[in-house]
């Protein structure tokens, strides 16, 4: 069953404000992203339903626009929440993307948000804006299972750091989204909630592991969601569902309250990041959730520059579509990259075909290092949560075959060598543009070869990597392009993503 698209043409760009400004001065943060639009106007369809009363298209508004309208009292927080809940109720029976709802609490929080505004209290940057969260991210008082049987029905007593920061900024949680067990998988299915479908074609996958996140955002259920990414788990759903998102620089965002902990040297590869329909919303949300919480000891406080301050004219762009036949992209994927580069030509300083060295080697070594314990980390995690039966693809990772200390040490040394080689190569460029995936979303149950070949290397080297929709497959499925920057330069990534979004139109609504 395939859904065709209809365009609402809703676009914005980055904000350039830091997290403290957002949390402390939401009114001042206002609609910086919308102001930076420079001619990117919302489509008539989206505007037609956005007035008082919460019309039929209110759920499609970006978070930045919705927050601005709430501050101006053009829409109430209650209307915004109700509009998103109605949309979720309309589409979720087909998608199975939102797997735990907290609608009563959300409506109560929206009512209180409207009352605070009426009293003239200071408003956060996301005041009254609905959101959802991947079911691996703790939310106080709302069931959070990690989609493993041992946590079925588990209610956390405390918010994850990122959850708390978003709520402090005024966002209102409406529910939790589906993920593979322990976030391990390139498609979204588990023994707790079952399978999630792609809103553009219900017979196809939404990707993983943040598949529920990508599907519900693309379908207009919420303006944004938080996912997590260890090997492409934010970027894959962005690609397959046609939304924007980012894996931040490793150690940018605290994982405190993310229930999947790989421990030790592998834990730093996982990053939490936002998925949204516009680049400006991704930019806004990252600035709210980033920064040390004094609990996740890996996280470093590094300032993030303003996206609006990035000068495209000075950027040296490297691009690639394949590396010695390793990625094997389909023709439409290569054509998409070439179209994007054609649009960037003349807007940037230079465009050079070049790829980071040792990508296939780096991915192979990374996979060997992760498997060196024979899946013991999975067994420990399952034991911690009381899970006795694992999903088959997760169970398959428990091999019992372990490496010796000398073998493992050699793998770590090789990883460091490759990181250094790639860092030296990157000195000649400011940004990389490449595919997110070799093809559009496959059918449920179909082979998914090389599913992470374009993405996993950026978990190894830790560089920030974002995705924005830039094309459509012959099957009518969204296709995203990947933009990678130097460590801590998400501002550059966002600037290039916004330029691509402007030229291609970005997200397009599915006809579901």
The number of residues in the chain equals 512
Give pLDDT, residue 49: 36
Over residues 302-326, mean pLDDT: 97
Q: What is the mean pLDDT of residues 41-68?
A: 63
pLDDT recorded at residue 398: 94
Residue 310 pLDDT > 70, yes or no? Answer: yes
Q: Looking at residue 199, what is its pLDDT?
A: 99
Q: Poorest-confidence range of 17-26, 174-183, 282-291? A: 17-26
**How large is the average pLDDT for residues 108-117?**
99
pLDDT value for 449 = 73
Q: Judge whether 169 lies within some domain.
A: yes
Res 39: pLDDT: 32
107-135 average pLDDT score: 99
Q: Which residue has the higher pLDDT, 5 or 178?
A: 178
Rounded CA-CA distance 281/279 in Å is: 5
Report, as an integer, the average pLDDT of 203-232: 98
pLDDT given at position 265: 72
Ordered DSSP codes for 286-339: HHHH-S--SSSTT--------GGG--GGG-EEEE-S-STTSS---HHHHHHHHH
Cβ atoms within 10 Å of 383's Cβ, excluding its own: 11
In 45-138 the beta strands, taken as DSSP E runs, fall at 98-101, 130-134
Does pLDDT of 10 surpass 70? Answer: no
- 488 touches 498 (CB < 8 A): no
Which of 210, 233, 280, 453 is an active site residue?
Answer: 233
Full residue range of the structural domain in which residue 498 is found: 90-510
Q: What pLDDT is attached to residue 53?
A: 35
| Residue 373, pLDDT above cutoff 60 | yes
How many angstroms separate the CA atoms of 490 and 464, rounded?
6
pLDDT band at residue 26 using 50, 70 and 90 as cut-offs: very low
Banded model confidence at residue 3, pLDDT cuts 50, 70, 90: very low
Q: Is residue 126 part of a domain?
A: yes
Beta-strand runs (E) in 117-252: 130-134, 172-177, 224-229, 244-247
Tokens 């400004």, residue?
Answer: 21
- Number of structural domains, the chain? 1
Task: Note the pLDDT of residue 263.
Answer: 62
Confidence of residue 206 (pLDDT cuts 50, 70, 90): very high
Which candidate, 143, 128, 127, 220, places its Cα nearest to that of 178? 143
What's the whole-number mean pLDDT along residues 488-510?
Answer: 99
Residue 418 included in any domain: yes
pLDDT of residue 451: 60
Of 265 and 30, more confident: 265
Answer yes or no: 452 catalytic: no
In a domain? residue 43: no
From CA 443, how far away is CA 60, in angstroms rounded?
Answer: 27
The pLDDT, as a whole number, for residue 50 is 39
Peptide linkage before 410 cis (omega within 30 of 0): no
Position 147 confidence tier, pLDDT thresholds 50, 70, 90? very high
Flag the least confident range among 51-55, 201-205, 410-414, 484-488: 51-55
Q: Are 94 and 202 in contact (CB under 8 A)?
A: yes
> Does residue 15 fall inside a structural domain?
no
How does the average pLDDT of the chain come out, rounded? Answer: 90
What is residue 162's predicted lDDT score, i.e. its pLDDT? 99
Q: Cβ(188)–Cβ(212) under 8 Å?
A: yes
Supply 505's token pair.
Answer: 């139109």
Residue 432 has pLDDT above 50, yes or no: yes
Tokens of 420: 């250094």
Q: Check residue 268 and give its pLDDT.
A: 82
Among residues 209, 228, 451, 502, which one is catalytic? 209
Question: Quick one: pLDDT at residue 447?
Answer: 85
User: What is the reported pLDDT for 16?
Assistant: 36
Give the active site residue among 134, 176, 247, 508. 134
The answer to the question of residue 312 being in a domain is yes
Confidence tier at 260 by pLDDT (50, 70, 90): confident
Q: Which of the four pLDDT bands, split at 50, 70 and 90, describes residue 54?
A: very low
Asked whether residue 336 carries a pLDDT value surpassing 60, the answer given is yes
pLDDT-derived band at 368 (thresholds 50, 70, 90) equals very high
Q: Could you tell me if residue 17 is inside a domain?
A: no
Residue 32 covered by a domain: no
Here the tokens at position 358 are 């040792």
pLDDT above 60 (res 28): no
User: 83: part of which helix (H) or strand (E)?
Assistant: helix 77-95
| Residue 37 binned pLDDT confidence (cut-offs 50, 70, 90) | very low
Predicted confidence (pLDDT) at residue 56 exceeds the cutoff of 60: no
Task: Provide the CATH number for the domain around residue 375.
Answer: 3.90.1300.10
Task: Please report the pLDDT score of residue 31 as a whole number.
Answer: 35
Average pLDDT for residues 375-386, to the nearest whole number?
92
- pLDDT (0 to 100) of residue 46: 43
Is residue 209 part of the annotated active site? The answer reads yes
pLDDT at site 384: 92
């Amino acid at each position: 069953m395939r859904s065709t698209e209809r365009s609402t043409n809703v676009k914005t760009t980055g904000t350039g404000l830091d997290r403290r400004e957002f949390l402390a001065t939401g009114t001042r943060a206002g609609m910086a992203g919308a102001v930076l639009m420079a001619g990117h106007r919302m489509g008539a369809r989206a505007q037609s339903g956005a007035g008082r009363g919460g019309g039929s298209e209110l759920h499609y508004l970006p978070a930045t626009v919705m927050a601005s309208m709430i501050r101006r009292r053009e829409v109430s927080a209650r209307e915004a929440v109700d509009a998103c809940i109605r949309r979720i109720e309309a589409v979720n029976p087909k998608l199975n993307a939102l797997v735990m709802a907290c609608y009563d609490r959300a409506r109560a929080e929206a009512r209180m948000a409207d009352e605070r505004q009426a009293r003239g209290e200071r408003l956060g940057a996301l005041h009254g804006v609905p959101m959802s969260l991947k079911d691996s991210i703790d939310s106080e008082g709302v069931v959070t299972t990690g989609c493993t049987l041992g946590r079925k029905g588990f209610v956390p007593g405390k918010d994850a750091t990122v959850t708390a920061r978003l709520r402090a900024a005024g966002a209102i949680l409406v529910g939790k989204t589906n993920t593979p067990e322990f976030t391990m998988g390139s498609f979204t299915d588990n023994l707790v909630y079952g399978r999630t479908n792609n809103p553009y074609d219900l017979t196809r996958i939404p990707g993983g592991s943040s598949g529920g996140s990508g599907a519900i955002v693309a379908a207009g259920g919420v303006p944004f969601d938080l996912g997590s990414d260890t090997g492409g788990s934010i970027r894959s759903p962005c690609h397959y569902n046609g939304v924007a998102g980012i894996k931040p620089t490793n150690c940018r965002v605290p994982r405190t309250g993310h229930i999947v902990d790989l421990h030790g040297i592998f834990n730093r590869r996982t990053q939490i990041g936002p998925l949204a329909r516009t680049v400006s919303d991704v930019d806004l949300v990252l600035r709210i959730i980033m920064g040390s919480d004094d609990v996740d000891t890996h996280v470093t406080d590094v300032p993030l520059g303003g996206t609006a301050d990035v000068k495209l004219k000075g950027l040296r762009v490297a691009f690639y579509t394949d590396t010695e036949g390793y990625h094997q992209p389909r023709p439409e994927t290569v054509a998409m990259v070439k179209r994007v580069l054609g649009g960037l030509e003349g807007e940037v300083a230079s465009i050079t075909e070049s790829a980071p060295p040792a990508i296939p080697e780096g991915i192979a070594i990374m996979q060997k290092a992760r498997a060196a314990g024979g899946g013991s980390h999975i067994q420990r995690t399952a034991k911690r949560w009381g899970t006795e039966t694992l999903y088959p693809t997760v169970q398959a990772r428990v091999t019992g075959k372990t490496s010796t200390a000398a073998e493992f040490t050699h793998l770590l040394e090789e990883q460091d060598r490759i990181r250094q080689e790639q860092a030296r190569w990157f000195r000649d460029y400011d940004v990389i543009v490449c595919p997110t995936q070799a093809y559009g979303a496959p059918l449920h149950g179909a082979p998914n070869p090389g599913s992470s070949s374009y993405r996993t290397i950026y978990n190894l080297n830790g560089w920030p990597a974002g995705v924005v929709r830039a094309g459509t497959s012959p099957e009518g499925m969204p296709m995203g392009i990947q933009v990678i920057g130097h460590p801590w330069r998400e501002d550059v990534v966002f600037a290039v993503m916004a330029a691509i979004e402007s030229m291609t139109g970005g997200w397009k609504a599915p006809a579901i």
